[in-house]
Structure 1
Amino acid sequence: MQFSDLVFVAGGGGIGSVLRWLVGKLVKEQGPSGFPWSTVLINVTGAFVIGLLSVLFSVEWHDRYGSLLNAGVLTGILGGYTTFSTMQLDAAKLYHSGSPGKTVGYLLGSVVLGILAAGAGAQLARLAG
């Protein structure tokens, strides 16, 4: 690890966090149903982009930290943009609001949509590539 790696991850993380905040503000923190649509949108679009870029950058899962491009974009920007912790907080809020079914649907739906989005991004890169 070199200092430049830290700079790229930190800079990318800052950019990704600002993007997440902007998307959250645009979508509104929660839709009219009280469902956390902005978190779903952020995590699914982030999964799509990381799937796409992982193929375009030829990055294997064990190699994510290899280059400044990977560190800055995949770990930094996309790591700052996507948000596992907010998804968990949203699930806890849904559960405590008396919606256990909505909570399970939210968690399962988020994970399944994320996997499908990452796969679609990777497939799109392969087709384009």
Structure 2
Amino acid sequence: MMALDFAWVGLGGGLGSVLRWAIGRMVGERYHGGFPLATFLINVSGAFVIGYLSVLIGVDWRDRYSTAIIAAVLTGGLGGYTTFSSMQLDAVKLAATAPRRALFYLLLSVGLGLAAAALGAELASWQG
């Protein structure tokens, strides 16, 4: 590892985190329901994009930290954009008042996240 590798991950992570914050804020300003919609949309869209780009770029998951583009975009950018920890916190908060909704949220997040990643990968495969 070189210092430049850290810089690429940091730059991508910073940009991804700012994008997550901006989208979360925009959704939060418009939606005030009892479902953590912003985190859900961010994680599912991030799963789609990482599935798509990993196939498009040709990422080998046994060596997925090898290039600057992978470090900046996949590890940094999408790692900063998506948020597993916020999803867990949202579920804990929901469980206090609506345990079934919390379970639904977790199952839907994971299920649609997997489907979105698969769809993104399949789309990139079709495009060649």
- TM-score by structure 2 length? 0.96
Q: Does 1:82 align with 2:73?
A: no
Percent identity over paired residues: 57
Equivalent pair of 1:64/1:70 in contact (CA under 8 Å): yes
Residues in 2 aligned to 1:116 and 1:30: alpha-carbon distance in whole angstroms: 26
Shift of residue 63, structure 1, vs aligned partner: 1.7
Aligned match of 1:45: 45
Letter in 2 for 1:26: M
| CA displacement, residues 5-37 of structure 1 (integer Å, 9 cap, x when unaligned) | 000000000000000001101111783322100
Note the residue ranges of structure 2 that are not aligned, 5 or more in a row. none
Aligned match of 1:35: 35
* Aligned counterparts, 1:63-102, within 5 A: 63-96=63-96, 98-102=97-101
Letter in 2 for 1:42: I
Aligned match of 1:104: 103
Aligned match of 2:121: 122
Equivalent pair of 1:91/1:103 in contact (CA under 8 Å): yes
SS at match of 2:34: coil
CA RMSD of superposed structures (Å) = 1.2
- TM-score by structure 1 length? 0.96
Q: Which runs of 4+ in 1 moved over 6 A?
A: none
